[in-house]
Homo-oligomer: A and B are copies of this chain.
Amino acid sequence: MLDRNWFSEAMDGTGSAISLKITGKLHEETSNYQKIEVYETTEWGNLMVIDDCTMVSTRDNFLYHEMMSHPALFTHPAPKNVAIIGGGDCGTLREVLKHTEVEHATQIDIDERVTRVSEIYFPELCESNNDPRAELLFIDGIKWMQEAQPGSLDVIIVDSTDPVGPGKVLFSAAFYKACFEALGEDGVMVQQSESPLLHEELIRCMSADMHKAGFFATRLLSFPQPIYPSGWWSATMAGKGGLDTFRADAARERSFETRYYNEGIHLGALATPQFLHDL
């Protein structure tokens, strides 16, 4: 049994829970959209929790943020314009802006409070928020995408919560269609797609819906993410013109620091577990 000294997320239907030992609650508020909490943990730094689901810990967020950004950016031949839907903690934005060829990155998260809380408790994730190439919008990302100029984006990163509540509409063929239209001809989108072990059906549907929306190819990226259910997470990449364009040399000779990502990790993350291959 785990007592009040632990924060636990027991994910519905998975029969499993991930817990971190905490020393106290640093913050709690209910924004216009959701409940936002921050805990101080004993070994994992700060922990942000939204609507009772773990979102980000200081210790392990690098895995998720690096894998949500670098594979897609090194797959597009020349990423200049990037949009991040969700991503209010700003960790993905930071990784995107490490790519010097990116000229403009727009983060569109409906809830400004997530970013304001992140600025206080995860300042390292927000260190590029004042980059002149960064634009932070706090509006409806789906509407923004529907109204984006066709062909204007190179990479779209959907850094969303789980496919329940306000995040659900981000997991729909209609949204993928809007992304498809907003992307240029070499455009790449990537979206978090839950656990390979626990959410096979979601992964299958997402890929099918992306194809239906017009994308030529999809690929699953899998990677460890200790504070998410099963500790094993994934993102699905979709390419308008294909995805066989990994710039391996650029990844190997990248000018910035990473903690998880490198060329080998990129290729390894693309390997398909046999049980998913057999689907």
| A residues whose Cβ falls under 8 Å from a Cβ of B | 1-4, 6, 8, 10, 13-21, 41-44, 59-60, 196-197, 222, 224-226, 230-232, 258-262, 264-265, 267-275, 277
Contacts and interface: CB of A to CB of B under 8 A. Distances in A.
Kindly list the 10 A-B residue pairs having the minimum CB-CB distance in the complex, ordered from nearest: A231-B231, A15-B43, A268-B268, A264-B271, A268-B271, A224-B232, A17-B19, A15-B42, A15-B21, A226-B230
B14 A43 contact: yes
Nearest to A266: B271
Given A262-B273, A265-B274, A268-B268, 16 more contacts: A1-B3, A1-B8, A2-B2, A6-B17, A16-B19, A60-B230, A196-B224, A224-B230, A226-B231, A259-B274, A260-B273, A262-B271, A262-B274, A265-B273, A267-B268, A268-B270
Contacts of A272: 262, 264-265
A8 to B, nearest CB: 5
Contacts of A15: 20-21, 41-44
Contacts of A10: 2, 6, 19, 21
Contacts of A274: 258-262, 265
A179 B2 CA distance: 40
A56 to B, nearest CB: 15
The CB with the most chain B CB atoms within 10 A, among A6, A19, A225, A277, is that of A19
A271 B224 CA distance: 13
Nearest to A269: B268
12 contacts: A1-B2, A2-B17, A6-B17, A197-B224, A224-B224, A231-B231, A258-B274, A260-B273, A260-B274, A268-B269, A268-B270, A268-B271
Given A2-B19, A15-B41, A265 B275 contact: no
B16 A18 contact: yes
B261 A265 contact: no
A150 B53 CA distance: 54
Contacts of A225: 231
A277 B265 CA distance: 11
A135 B117 CA distance: 59
Contacts of A259: 273-275
